[in-house]
Chains A and B, each alone.
Chain A
Amino acid sequence: MIQLENIHRYFQVGEQRIHALNNINLTIKKGEYLSIMGPSGSGKSTLLNVIALLDQPSSGRYRLNNQDVTQLNDEQLAKARRENIGFVFQFFHLIPRYSAAENIEIPLILAGIAAKERKQRVTDALLAVNLQDRAAHRPDQLSGGQTQRVAIARAMIMRPQILLADEPTGNLDSQSGREVIELLENLNQQQVTLVTITHDESLGRRAQRRIRLIDGQIKD
């Protein structure tokens, strides 16, 4: 489902050229649960951004569902991102002026889905993360755990096959962190491919498949 071949990514920082990803070869099959670990600056986030189609590799080939996505234009990239990938962030990234339901609705709006269907799907999504009574609450009225659950509902609203989580528990206490992880793993059991990046060894070890990144290279 995800095939990365000889992926390199360079950044120009002032005079210096940083080799953030160095010859990454990685295949992720449908339904897998994969964790990416490594010290900060090892290229974890860059790798996740490349997988999420938010960043383009400097060289190499990325095939998503057997389609080469390195040559897509902005329009096609946005569509591929919208339909295939759900993203959960460390800092939640909910829009503060919108309610939980409205935040979850945004991907549906961007996809041009009619209001009636959106409403139904948002209701279902809130139910799935057990927040149906928080639909009208704004992010500042929600706890950290609830906020991240809203973010997961938003990530899954387009029913993507891939769920990417960047330090999903990094800003949560252990109790709500555990709830969030259980929610994510629950989704994985429903055949959603789950990729998490984390510093947290105990969280990383929960995945069936673990990858360690050091200086932009995969060290198994």
Chain B
Amino acid sequence: MIFTDTINLAYTAIKTQPVRVLLIILAMSIGIASVTVLTALGESARLYIVNEFEALGTHLVIVLPGRSETTGGHPPLFGETPRDLTLADAEALYRSHNIAAIAPITIGAAPVSTKGLERETTIIGSTSALRQVRHLSLAQGRFLPQTNKALSICVIGQTIKDELFAHQQVLGQWLRISDRRFRVIGVLASEGQSIGVDFDDMVIIPVAAAQTLFNTHSLFRILVEAKSKQGMYKAVDEIREIIKARHEGEDDVTLITQDSVVNAFDDILTALTLTVTSIASISLAVAGILVMNVMWVSVTQRTAEIGLLKALGATKRQILWLFLTEAVMLSVAGALVGLFLGKMTLFVLQTIYPDFPVFLPTWAVFAALFVALLTALIFGVLPARKAASMDPVIALNKK
């Protein structure tokens, strides 16, 4: 039998049962649509987060005080054996040759005010290196100078500028943080959404000033940028050695490399995508069972026809493929409708949330079609085999 004839015979058989066709296509398209939408959302979330992290620099090392056994994931906010990291520790790290920049960080919350306007916000104490390490850019003025002195100067984020210095010349203005005054020397360019820290709602001051402000000697963490990706792992070892030597031989810092964080998120989100997709594919299984059901009824109703085809010289294999082709055509039609529905849904989502990049990976499209095909073959094979193995004499006499 010629392939196009098989298709043709299957098509004419399908055409006579429009209601069943609609039911199968509906069930299959819902399954495929939900799988594609959820895959797209999961995959987009993963890429979004991975990109956010990678934008921070791929050879970033974060030094946290305290030792905890972690290989990624969320950095612990408080170390377990608090031997403080100090500014001297940070400076000592310059002994490593693999380090490009070191940004010690002290963090705290304090009210900032000017001319009667007050706002509670996050204060970051750091050095000029922070700009390089976090890839910050400035909208106006300049960043912190290369000095460790406790200068009374600050760099503010866009939100702070808008809230406290709306429609005003901001550079050179005084800003009161807690009970101290700082002169504004720069405004950060808007970062938009950034993982972890919102630089828009933030004031950056020299680290020494921050330590005085918050009356502390310890650092929240040290951000280190390695010279290269390869140098990063050497830098990690060297940082560990240097800190150990300074902390009386005790290895009491936690080092997190940027790529381990990215990998952890990558793994988590991939697992999440797979889980969500698996749940969605239950609907595909349901659609598959419907395909089987409808094909079963179809085979039973067309028993006499099957007997006739055998009497006219059809082989078992021809009958089998005839019915499988019907199942496949129905499923693939459902899958195409489902892909269209999925694309529509994604388009609507994209319109509602333009910030979140939603996209459907090409492999998902092919996977959806392949799964529909597979479902049809798996669930269609039983009814088709029933048809193929019918005894022609008995089938013919059935009315």
Q: Do A and B come from one complex?
A: yes
Give A contacts to B, CB under 8 Å.
49, 52, 54-55, 74-75, 78-79, 81-83, 87, 89, 91, 93, 95, 97-98, 106-107, 109-112, 114-115, 154, 158
Which chain A residues border B229 with CB–CB below 8 Å? none
| Contact partner, A97, options B2, B16, B308, B396, Cβ 8 Å | B16
B47 interface hit (Cβ, 8 Å)? no
Given B1, B12, B13, B316, which contacts A74 in the complex, CB threshold below 8 Å?
Answer: B316
A114 to B312, CA, bound (A): 17
In angstroms, Cα B9 to Cα A95, docked, is 12
Asked whether, in the complex, the Cβ of B312 is within 8 Å of the Cβ of A82, the reply is: yes
Within 8 A of A (CB), among B37-62: none
Query: Among A78, A79, A83, A89, which residue has its beta carbon within 8 angstroms of that of B310?
Result: A78
A-B contact pairs, 18 of them (CB 8 A): A54-B396, A74-B315, A75-B315, A75-B316, A78-B313, A78-B316, A81-B311, A81-B312, A87-B311, A93-B311, A93-B396, A95-B305, A95-B308, A98-B12, A109-B1, A109-B2, A110-B313, A111-B1
Count residues on chain B whose CB falls below 8 Å from chain A CBs.
Answer: 26
Across-interface contacts of A95 in B (CB, < 8 A): 305, 308
Q: Sorted from nearest, which 3 A-B pairs have the closest CB atoms?
A: A82-B313, A78-B315, A54-B392
Q: Check A75 against B396 for contact (C-beta < 8 Å).
A: no
A85 CB → nearest B CB, Å: 8
- A110 near B318 with CB under 8 A, answer yes
CA distance A107 to B1 in the complex (A): 10
Q: Are B313 and A81 in contact (CB under 8 A)?
A: yes
Nearest-CB residue, chain B, relative to A80: B313
A111 CA to B312 CA in the complex, in Å?
10
* Neighbouring A residues of B315 by C-beta, 8 Å: 74-75, 78-79
State whether the Cβ of B348 lies closer than 8 Å to any Cβ in chain A: no
B residues 359-387 touching A (CB-CB < 8 Å): none
Binding site for A on B (CB under 8 A): 1-2, 5, 9, 12-13, 15-16, 304-305, 307-318, 392-393, 396, 399
- Cβ of A54 and Cβ of B310 under 8 Å apart? yes
- Chain A residues with CB below 8 A from B393, complex form: 49, 54-55
Q: Which residues of B contact A54 (CB under 8 A)?
A: 310-311, 392-393, 396
Contact B2 A107 (CB under 8 A): no
Q: Is the CB of B396 within 8 A of A78?
A: no
For A98, what are the chain B residues with a Cβ–Cβ distance below 8 Å? 12
Chain B residue nearest to A55 in the complex (CB): B393
Which one of A52, A83, A97, A110 contacts B12 once the chains associate, using CB atoms below 8 Å? A97
Is B309 touching A110 in the complex (CB atoms < 8 A)? yes
Q: A111 to chain B: which residues have CB within 8 Å?
A: 1, 313
By a CB distance below 8 angstroms, the chain B residues around A91 are 399
A158 to B314, CA, bound (A): 13
The interface centre, meaning the residue of A54, A83, A154 with most chain B CB atoms within 10 A of its CB, is A54
Given contact pairs A49-B393, A54-B393, A112-B2, A97 touches B13 in the complex (Cβ within 8 A): yes
Q: Which residues of A contact B313 (CB under 8 A)?
A: 78-79, 81-83, 107, 110-111, 158
Would you give the shortest CB distance from A164 to chain B, in whole angstroms? Answer: 10
B68 to chain A, nearest CB (A): 69
Among A74, A75, A106, A112, which residue has its beta carbon within 8 angstroms of that of B312? Answer: A106
Q: How far is the CB of B252 from chain A (nearest CB, A)?
A: 78
- Give A164's nearest chain B residue, CB to CB: B311
Please report the C-alpha to C-alpha distance between residue A79 and residue B312 in the assembled complex, in whole angstroms. 10
- Chain A nearest CB from B215 CB (Å) reads 90
CB distance from B5 to the nearest CB of A (A): 5
- How far does the Cβ of A188 sit from chain B's closest Cβ, in whole Å? 21
Residues of A within 8 A of B15 (CB): 97
| B308-A93 in contact (CB<8A) | yes
Given contact pairs A91-B399, A109-B1, enumerate 15 new A-B contacts (beta carbons under 8 Å).
A54-B392, A55-B392, A74-B317, A75-B316, A75-B317, A78-B313, A78-B314, A87-B312, A93-B304, A93-B308, A93-B311, A95-B305, A106-B312, A110-B314, A111-B1
- A106 to chain B: closest residue by CB: B312
> Which B residues are CB-close (under 8 A) to A87?
311-312
Whose C-beta in chain A lies nearest to the C-beta of B6?
Answer: A109
Residue pair A110, B305 in contact (C-beta under 8 Å): no
Pick the residue among A81, A109, A115 that contacts B9 (CB under 8 A): A109
In angstroms, Cα B331 to Cα A162, docked, is 42
A110 and B312 in contact (CB under 8 A), knowing A54-B392, A95-B305, A98-B12? yes
For B392, what are the chain A residues with a Cβ–Cβ distance below 8 Å?
A: 54-55
**Nearest-CB distance from B341 to chain A (Å)?**
30
Q: Which residues of A contact B318 (CB under 8 A)?
A: 78, 110
Interface centre among B1, B13, B305, B315 (most CB of A within 10 A): B315
Asked if A106 and B309 make an inter-chain contact with CB atoms under 8 angstroms apart, the answer reads yes
> For A95, A97, A98, A154, which residue has the most chain B Cβ atoms within 10 angstroms?
A95
- Name the residue on A nearest B2 (C-beta): A112
Contacts of A154 in B (CB 8 A): 312
Cα distance, A114 to B16, chains bound together (Å): 25
Cα–Cα distance between A89 and B5 once the two chains are bound (Å): 25
Check A110 against B2 for contact (C-beta < 8 Å): no
| Residues of B close to A82: CB separation below 8 A | 312-313
Find chain A residues with CB under 8 A from B312 CB.
81-82, 87, 106-107, 110, 154
Query: Chain A residues near B308 (CB, 8 Å)?
Result: 93, 95
A-chain residues with CB within 8 Å of residue B311 when the two chains form the complex:
52, 54, 81, 87, 93
